[in-house]
Amino acid sequence: MSWTRRLRVLYQACFLALFLWLLARLAAGDPRDLPFTAFFHTDPLAAVGVTFAAGTLPGPLVWAVALIVLTLIFGRVFCGWICPLGTLQQLSSWLFSPRSRRESLQVNRYRRWYALKTYILAALLAAALAGSLQTGLLDPLALLARGLASGVWPMLPGGPAVPGGWLATTLLLAIVVASRFIPRLFCRAFCPLGALLGIFARFALLRIQRAGDGCSSCSLCTFACQGADEPLGEHRVAECHVCLNCTDSCKEGVLSYRFLAPAAPAPARPDLSRRYLLGSAVGALVAAPLLQAAGGGRGAARAELIRPPGALAEQEFLQRCIKCSLCQQACPTHALHPAIGVAGVEGFWTPVLVPRRGWCEFACTRCGEVCPTGAITELTTARKTGLDGAPPVRIGTAFVDHGRCLPWAMVTPCIVCEEMCPTSPKAIWLEEVVETGREDRPVRLQRPRVDPQLCVGCGICEHRCPVGELAAIRVSSVGESRDPLNRMIAAAPA
Amino acid sequence: MSQPYHHRITRREACTRLAAAGLAAGAVGGGALFFHDRRRAEASAPSVPDWRVPASPQYPPAAAASGPDPAANLRRAVAALGGMERFVRRGESVLIKPNVGWDRIPEQAANTDPQVVAELVRLCRAAGARRVVVTDISCNDPRRCFARSGISAAAGAAGAEVIESHRLAMVPAALTGLAAGLEVVEELLKADRVINVPVVKHHSLSKVTLGMKNWYGVLGPGRNRLHQSIDRSIAELGAAFRPTLTVIDATRVLLRNGPQGGSLNDVKAVNAVAAGTDQVLCDAWGAAQLGHAPASLPFLELAEQRGLGRADLKAVHQV
Amino acid sequence: MARFRVHHAALLALLGVVGGWVAHRGQATRQDPAAVLEALRAAQHPRLPPADAAGATHRDEPESYDPETLYDFIDGAADAYLARGFRRCAAATYSFTSAEGRTFEVAAEVYRFATAAGARAQLEAERPPAARPLPGASDAWWDAGVLLAVGGADYLKLTAYHAGPDVEEALQRLFAAWHEGGEP
C-alpha cells in the first residue's frame, strides 16, 4: 500500500474517531470549549440549503466555502478522506464481505440509477427555495449524528430515552448494512452532499488520469474503487471519491492523480437526464408548499410544539433547522426530542421539548450554543433568565389541571411544582385555603396558581408533578417569546 | 447403508455410548440442580445504621460560631464539640451530605457553601478518615448542580470523592411510614460515619428546610409524594437517619422563594455556622436565623415528641 | 511501494494541525460563572443599611420599585428617571431619636441606574444650587434636611422633614453607613 493510501486510511479513521468523540463529549456534558459543531460548519449542503431557504448564510457556515474550494481543487476528497458516514460504510463493506474478484467488479460497476442522488439534490434544493429545508433528512453528517443520538447513546448506561428514535437508528443501520452488499451504496446513489460536491468536482483541478497505451484492462483498478466511477472506462470525476485505490493498484502505471489532467471524454449517454432533473425540481417546488398547507399550514401555533429557548419563529426555524440533533445531545436534562408528528411533515425530526421527559434548566443555554445554523439563537444566561432587565425568554406557559391536582381535587397537600419553579419571584404562587375533607376534618391546603407574567414554560413543574404520566400541571406553547401571535395575555411583554 | 440389527456391538462402542448418555444425563441433572429454585424471594431490605457516637455530657449538644471566614466558623464550632476526632475514628469512611440540589452559584444560597463543605472534608481527613464521600441527589441536572455550586471543585480539591447523583446506586431500605418503599443511596448505608450539612433556606410548605428535611436528598424516585404530609415526613426521616454530626450552614441564608431562590435579593449574609449532635436543636438554631421561633414549626414539635432532641436554643453554645 | 514524499509529510502535518486545534480548544471551558454573578448583582435591589448601622432606632421594611412601578412611587418625576436609565429603587424610612430626646424621621431612597453617568446626571438635575459638598466624601452634597450622593451606578437621596444639627448629623451617619456598605 502506498503512503498516500495509508494516509487516506489514517485520515478516515481520525475523522471518524473525531466525529464520534466530539458527539460523545457533547452528550456527556463536557464543559470544555470543544469544537462540537465544526463538522457541520463546513457542510456545504447545509450552507446551500439554508441560504436557499432562509435567504441568508448564517455566519459560521461560511466555512463551507473552504470545503467547496477544496473540492474545486482536489475533487470529492471530503467523501474519500473525511466523511465519517462514508468511513463507517467502508468499514461495513470491508469487514462483512470478503469478495471474489468477480464480485468486486460487479459491485463496483457504475449504474445509471446512481444519478438518483443528483435528482434528490435537485428536489431538496427546490424545496429549500420554496422555503422548506429538508436537506437534513439525508445529509450524511446529520444522519450519523441522529443515529447516534437516537440509538447509540440510549443504549449506553445512563443514556437518554428517545421514544421514536428507532426510525433514525433504522435508517443508519440500513445504510451501514447496505454497504455490505454494494459498498458505499448511500454515497453512490442517495447522498445529496455527495451529489453537490460532485457538481463542483467536475471543475476540479486535480483528477485521475488514464494516460498512455499501457492499459491491459486487468480491472485491478476497479476492485477497490470506492466511488464506482469506472477508472477503467470513462472516469466519472463527479463520482470519484479520490480514494486513490485505483492509482495504487494499477500495475501498468497508467493511472495517476494529476494536476490539470485532461478531462475524460463525455460519456455517450449522459448520466443525468435533463427530464428527470427538471422533474425532481419542479415536483419538489410543487410538493413542498402542498405538504405545508396540508399539514395545517406553517405558522399555525401548536400547543404541544414547545421549541428550545432561543429558537426562531417557526417559519424561520424551519428554514434553518437541519435536524442534526446536536441540540438534543447537548441538552443536559434530555428534554429535547425529535418531533415525529407534533411539528407537522416539515418539522419531522426537528427538536421539540417534552416536559414529561426533561425540563429546560433555567440557567442553561447549551442548545443555542451548539446549533450550527442559528435555528436556535445563542443566548447568554443573563438574557435568557431576564437578569438584564428585559423579560426572560419564554417557551410556553404552565397550566394547572384542577381536576388532577392533589390540593385542588383531592384535598391533599402537595406544592412540588411551586418548590421546583426556578424563577424569583416564583411563577407558581400558593393560595391558602382550609377545606374540610371527607371526615369533616379541616385540612390546610396550598393550591398552586400560575402567574403567566412570570412563567417561562421551562416544564420542571410538569416533570416533577407526582400525578402519574399525565401531570396535573402541563406546559403548552402559548406565551412563547418567539411568536408574537401565540399569546394569551394582553400585557405580556414580547 | 444401515447396519443389520444383529450386528454385535463392540466393547468400545458400548463404553462410548454409555459415557455419552451419562454425560448428557449429568449435564441436564446438574443444570436442573443449579437452576432449581434459584430466584428466591428478595432478601429483606437492610435497615439504616445508627451513625451516632455515644453521648458526652461534657460537650454541648450544639455550638455556633460567627465570623467572616466560613471555614474558621466551622472549625471553631466543631472544636467546641470536642473536635472531629470525637466523631471520626482513624480508618473510617465518612459520607458528607451537603445540599447540592440546585443549579445555582454559591451567592444565591440555594446549596451549601462550598468552603464549609471543603473544610468539613479536610477535618475528616485530618482525623484519619480513610475515605470521604460527598454526594447528594440533585433536583436539577446533577452535573450542573455540582459544578455551579462550587462543591465539586472545592470538595475534590480537599481530597473528597465527589459522586454526582446520576452515578449513585440506589437500594431498597427498611424505611417505615410515608417513605416506606423508597430507595436509599447505597453509599450512605455503607458509610461508617455520616455528616449532614444543609444550608438554611425558606420553604413554602414546611416554612424552612434544614437538616432533617435534607434527608430527602438521599431518597430515590417517589420522594415527591412526601410533601403531602411534609411535617410528618420530615420527623420520620429525622427518626430514620441519625447522623454522626449535623452542621448547619448559615454563611448565607435564603429568606424567600426557597428552596432554590434565584435573585440575590432573597439572600442575606449571616456568616455563621453551627454544628451539633442534636438534629432537632440544630434545626431550631437554623430556623432562628430566618426569624422563626421553634414553637412555630410543626415538624420540630413532631420531632421533639418522637424524642429526637430538644429545641431549647439556650443549649446552643455560642463560640 | 512508493516513497514517502513531501506531500505525504504535508498531509500528515495537516492532520496534526487539526488535532492540535481540537486540543487547543479543549483547554478552555465554556461557561463563565463570573458573568452570571455580575448579571445577578446588577439585577439586585440596591442596598439600604440596617437601622443600627445608621444609628437609627428603627427602619421599616424597604420597598422596591422597578421601571414599571416607579410611577406609583414618584408620579411624573419617573419620566426623567426612566430617560436616564433607571433600573431599580429601594426606599425606606428611618426613625431617629436625638440626644435631646427629639424623634424624627428620614426618608432614604436609592435609585440604581444602568450606568454611573445616568446616576450622576440625575443627581445634577436634582441638586439644589445652595447645596454644599460633603467634607471628606466625593460625590456627596447636602443642604438643609437633604443629602444627595452617588456611588457607582446608585443615586442616594436622603430627605428629612425637620431641621437642626441633630438632623444633619443623622443624615451624615446614614450616608456613611450606606457608603461603607459596599457589596452584600
Strand segments, DSSP code E, in B52-160 are: 62-66, 93-98, 131-135
Q: If you average pLDDT over residues B109-122, what whole number do you get?
A: 97
Asked if A466 is an interface residue toward chain B (Cβ–Cβ < 8 A), one would say: yes
Tell me the three cell numbers of residue C58: 428603627
- Is residue C20 situated within a structural domain? no
The answer on pLDDT for C1 being more than 60 is: no
Asked if B257 is an interface residue toward chain A (Cβ–Cβ < 8 A), one would say: yes
Q: How far apart (Å, rounded) are the C-alpha atoms in residues A176 and A97?
A: 12
CB A326 within 8 A of CB A370: yes
Q: Chain C residues with CB inside 8 Å of B263's CB?
A: 40, 43-44
ipTM of the shown complex: 0.84
DSSP state of B193: E
List, in order, residues 6 or more apart from A171 with CB less than 8 Å away. A143, A147
Quick check: C37 and B265 CB within 8 A?
Answer: no
Bridge partners of A187, per DSSP, are none
Tell me what pLDDT residue A432 has.
Answer: 93
Quick check: B105 and C184 CB within 8 A?
Answer: no
CB A332 within 8 A of CB B144: yes
Outline where A130-235 has alpha helix (H): 140-147, 166-181, 185-189, 192-201, 220-223
CB-closest option in A22, A32, A387 to C29: A32
Number of domains into which chain A is organized: 2
CB-closest option in C31, C36, C45 to B265: C45
Per CB distance under 8 Å, which residues of C are interface residues toward B? 31, 33, 36-37, 40-41, 43-45, 64, 184
Number of domains into which chain B is organized: 1
- Is residue C125 situated within a structural domain? yes
**Cα dihedral angle (A398, A403, A404, A406), rounded to 10 degrees?**
100
Quick check: B141 and A446 CB within 8 A?
Answer: no
Asked if B260 is an interface residue toward chain A (Cβ–Cβ < 8 A), one would say: yes
Asked if A275 is an interface residue toward chain C (Cβ–Cβ < 8 A), one would say: no
Q: How far apart (Å, rounded) are the C-alpha atoms in residues B137 and A415?
A: 19
**pLDDT bucket at A189, cuts 50 / 70 / 90:** very high
The answer on pLDDT for C55 being more than 90 is: no
Residue the block writes with cell 455556633 = B64
Tell me what pLDDT residue A457 has.
Answer: 96
- Is residue C114 situated within a structural domain? yes
Tell me what pLDDT residue C98 has.
Answer: 83
Q: B103: helix, coil or strand? A: coil
CB A236 within 8 A of CB A115: no
Which A residues in the span 395-414 are in contact with B, Cβ-Cβ below 8 Å? Answer: 406, 412-414
- Percent pLDDT > 70 in chain B is 97
Tell me whether the omega of the peptide bond preceding residue B243 falls within 30 degrees of 0, making it cis. Answer: no
- Percent pLDDT > 90 in chain B is 80
pLDDT tens by residue, B182-225: 999 999 999 999 999 999 999 988 999 999 999 999 999 889 88
Q: If you average pLDDT over residues A223-251, what whole number do you get?
A: 86
- Is residue C8 situated within a structural domain? no
Task: Count the alpha carbons within 13 Å of B211 in the hemisphere toward its beta carbon.
Answer: 37
Tell me what pLDDT residue C183 has.
Answer: 42
CB-closest option in A3, A32, A381 to C2: A3
Domain check: are A236 and A318 in the same one? Answer: no
List the Cα angle B220/B226/B229 in 5-degree steps. Answer: 165
> How far does Cα B69 stand from its chain's mean position?
26
Q: How far apart (Å, rounded) are the C-alpha atoms in residues A288 and B221?
A: 46
Which B residues in the span 142-161 are in contact with A, Cβ-Cβ below 8 Å? Answer: 143-144, 147-148
How far B259 CA sits from the closest chain A CA (Å)? 7
The answer on pLDDT for A264 being more than 70 is: no
Domain check: are A450 and A356 in the same one? Answer: yes
DSSP state of A35: -
Tell me what pLDDT residue A249 has.
Answer: 85
How far B66 CA sits from the closest chain C CA (Å)? 16
How far A36 CA sits from the closest chain B CA (Å)? 19
- Is residue C95 situated within a structural domain? yes
More confident residue, B291 or A235: B291
Tell me what pLDDT residue C184 has.
Answer: 38
DSSP state of A271: S
How far C64 CA sits from the closest chain B CA (Å)? 10
Domain check: are A231 and A155 in the same one? Answer: yes
Q: How far apart (Å, rounded) are the C-alpha atoms in residues B155 and B114?
A: 7
Q: If you average pLDDT over residues A368-394, what whole number do you get?
A: 91
Q: Chain A residues with CB inside 8 Å of C1's CB?
A: 1-3
CB-closest option in B107, B147, B263 to C37: B107
Domain check: are A162 and A244 in the same one? Answer: yes
Tell me what pLDDT residue A487 has.
Answer: 86
Q: How far apart (Å, rounded) are the C-alpha atoms in residues B201 and B119?
A: 21
The answer on pLDDT for C145 being more than 80 is: yes
**pLDDT bucket at A250, cuts 50 / 70 / 90:** confident
More confident residue, B45 or A139: A139
Tell me whether the omega of the peptide bond preceding residue A154 falls within 30 degrees of 0, making it cis. Answer: no
- Between A151-165, B35-49, B102-116, the lowest mean confidence (pLDDT) is in B35-49
Q: Chain B residues with CB inside 8 Å of A460's CB?
A: 140
Identity (one letter) of the amino acid at B220?
Answer: G
Q: B32: helix, coil or strand? A: helix
Tell me what pLDDT residue A494 has.
Answer: 38
pLDDT tens by residue, B31-87: 998 888 776 655 677 889 999 999 889 999 999 999 999 999 999 999 999 999 999
- Percent pLDDT > 70 in chain A is 96
The counts of H helices and E strands in chain B are: 9, 12
Per CB distance under 8 Å, which residues of B are interface residues toward C? 105, 107-108, 147-148, 263-265, 267-269
- Is residue B22 situated within a structural domain? no
Q: If you average pLDDT over residues C56-79, what whole number do you get?
A: 86
Domain check: are A347 and A251 in the same one? Answer: no
Tell me what pLDDT residue A437 has.
Answer: 83
Structural domain for A30, as ranges? 3-259
Q: Chain A residues with CB inside 8 Å of B166's CB?
A: 158
- Between A84-93, A131-140, C24-33, the lowest mean confidence (pLDDT) is in C24-33
Q: A153: helix, coil or strand? A: helix
Domain with residue B148: its CATH number is 3.40.50
pLDDT tens by residue, A323-337: 999 999 999 999 999
**Among candidates A228, A225, A139, A145, which has minimal Cα distance to A190?**
A139
| Chain B residue nearest residue C32, CA to CA | B148
Asked if A13 is an interface residue toward chain C (Cβ–Cβ < 8 A), one would say: no
**pLDDT bucket at A163, cuts 50 / 70 / 90:** confident
- Is residue B206 situated within a structural domain? yes
List, in order, residues 6 or more apart from B54 with CB less than 8 Å away. none
The answer on pLDDT for A265 being more than 70 is: no
Strand segments, DSSP code E, in A158-300 are: 206-210, 255-259
CB-closest option in C31, C33, C44 to B264: C44
- Is residue C13 situated within a structural domain? no
Number of domains into which chain C is organized: 1
Exposed / middle / buried, residue B176 (Cβ in 10 Å: 0-12, 13-18, 19+): exposed
Q: If you average pLDDT over residues C68-91, what whole number do you get?
A: 88
Tell me what pLDDT residue A256 has.
Answer: 85
Largest alpha-carbon pair distance within chain B? 106
Domain check: are A329 and A251 in the same one? Answer: no
Cβ atoms within 10 A of the Cβ of A358, count? 22
| Chain A residue nearest residue C24, CA to CA | A34
Rounded to two decimals, what is the model's pTM? 0.84
Quick check: C33 and B263 CB within 8 A?
Answer: no
Domain check: are A343 and A466 in the same one? Answer: yes
Tell me what pLDDT residue A492 has.
Answer: 43
- Where b means 16+ CB within 10 Å and e means fewer, A207-226 reads bbbbeeeebeeebbbbbbbb
pLDDT tens by residue, A62-74: 999 999 999 999 9
Cα torsion angle, B249, B252, B257, B261, sign: negative
**Among candidates A163, A162, A169, A164, which has minimal Cα distance to A146?**
A169
DSSP state of A78: I
Q: How far apart (Å, rounded) are the C-alpha atoms in residues B294 and B313?
A: 8
Distances (CA, A) of A240 to A11, A230, A248, A259: 17, 9, 15, 15
Structural domain for B109, as ranges? 62-318
How far B263 CA sits from the closest chain C CA (Å)? 7
Asked if B262 is an interface residue toward chain A (Cβ–Cβ < 8 A), one would say: yes
- Is residue C77 situated within a structural domain? yes
Q: How far apart (Å, rounded) are the C-alpha atoms in residues A201 and C33?
A: 47
Cβ atoms within 10 A of the Cβ of A454, count? 19
Domain check: are A330 and A394 in the same one? Answer: yes
- Is residue A76 situated within a structural domain? yes
Domain with residue C129: its CATH number is 3.40.1000
